[in-house]
Structure 1
């Protein structure tokens, strides 16, 4: 059985793109990586990329729903 993947399943973002989305500096992202915080990332040959699904999960985990 074949499964189709949506573009967001395979999309990867640069630190600059993620910084823009999260409205933080790229240095903040680098610091978070060093501290083991922030969205999950992958590194290949020294190049850092963020899977879109990992960024979406990171944002979902931090979404607060109030009863106000």
Structure 2
């Protein structure tokens, strides 16, 4: 029996196993959450978005927010 077909088969198995291991171990892509209101403010109003962690009763319309990039 010739060694060339056996060597080719071994190389193919190693390549397929390596590709499978690469795709199996690769991390999932991050989840991107789009804030449509923020996109509108950036594109249409040409302003930066401010994320505020507060209750609805804390931030009123016209409130002054200190923004530092």
TM-score range, shorter chain: under 0.3
TM-score of the superposed pair, with normalisation by structure 1: 0.24
Structure 1 or 2, whichever has the larger Rg, is 2
Greater strand fraction, Structure 1 or Structure 2? 1
